[in-house]
Amino acid sequence: MQLKDKRIVLTGATGGMGQLIATELATRGAKLVLVDLNEPRVTALATQLGPNHAAIAVDLCSDEGRSQLIKACREFADIDVLINAAGISEYALIGSQATAKIDLMTTINLIVPMQLCQALLPLLNERPEAAIINIGSTFGSIGHPGFAVYCATKFGLRGYTEALRREVSDTRLKVYYLAPRAVQTDMNNAAVVQLNSELGNAMDKPEVVVASIVRLLTSDRGGDYFIGWPEKLFVRVNGLLPRLVDNALGKKLATIKRLAGPMSNTR
């Protein structure tokens, strides 16, 4: 796919990674529909990138907000690409997570991408070339202590994307699941940075993820794409020999629990 003049819907557009994605796609001539909750920031971003881009400020966690976005996309009519980049995470032990935070994470990370894919599918199928990229995580394939709910949402997104890809395999629509490892963005707070440092886990610059998105869109390949080594290997090992990963993470559990903080039954 050539990105010039392609109409691309990007959620989470003003996030640390979202802004870089938007900037890179704009430099390649794409026409962006920038979606974010923060109206001043998303409007400023669209203005900064130029006249070919639209800003839509909606709360994707609400039925009304999603309906507004879908209505706006139908008015454009020429939607070529959907990139579900909006997402949140929380590093916390299971007993410490508030129910409201669990609901919010599930909605943003899983419900919103599924509903947008479903709603925009008719528009995408009308285009001569079209693609969906759902941004997941390595934790969508490896259940990791301290990130149980985040893992659950990304496991779900990976399964949904796989099923969707197979369901539309007789069409021109390409469907991708992109799974970064830890990325240096505001989504990862100081505790996560310290955890990765103590465990020896690498954290990629967001530019690495942006480059992968461009690579997927401009190629003809489909399927899942994992970023980072040895994380790619761990995904395969976890699928085939999960007990080995159980043992490896068990040796790190004391560090994970210490940095996650005390457990409490928060509601």
pLDDT of residue 222: 67
pLDDT digits (tens, 9 = 90+) for 75-121: 988 999 999 999 999 999 999 999 999 999 999 999 999 999 999 99
pTM of the predicted model, to two decimals? 0.94
The CATH code of the domain that includes 48 is: 3.40.50.720
* Within-domain flag for 95: yes
* Within-domain flag for 1: no
Query: In sequence order, what DSSP letters do the residues of 20-41 get, joined into one string?
Result: HHHHHHHHTT-EEEEEES-HHH
Count, residues in the chain? 267
* Within-domain flag for 28: yes
pLDDT digits (tens, 9 = 90+) for 120-172: 999 999 999 999 999 999 999 999 999 999 999 999 999 999 999 999 999 99
Please give the average per-residue pLDDT across 196-211, as a whole number: 90
Where does residue 200 fall: left (phi above 0), alpha (psi -120 to 50 degrees), or beta otherwise? left
Number of domains the chain is built from: 1
* Within-domain flag for 267: no
Are 151 and 139 contacting, i.e. CB atoms less than 8 angstroms apart?
yes
* Within-domain flag for 71: yes
Where in the sequence is the domain holding 222, given as residue range(s)? 7-260
Q: Which of these, 35, 77, 72, lies nearest to 45 by C-alpha position?
A: 35
- Token pair of 212 as six digits: 């992968």
* Within-domain flag for 266: no
pLDDT digits (tens, 9 = 90+) for 3-38: 999 999 999 999 989 999 999 999 999 999 999 999
* Within-domain flag for 184: yes
* Within-domain flag for 2: no
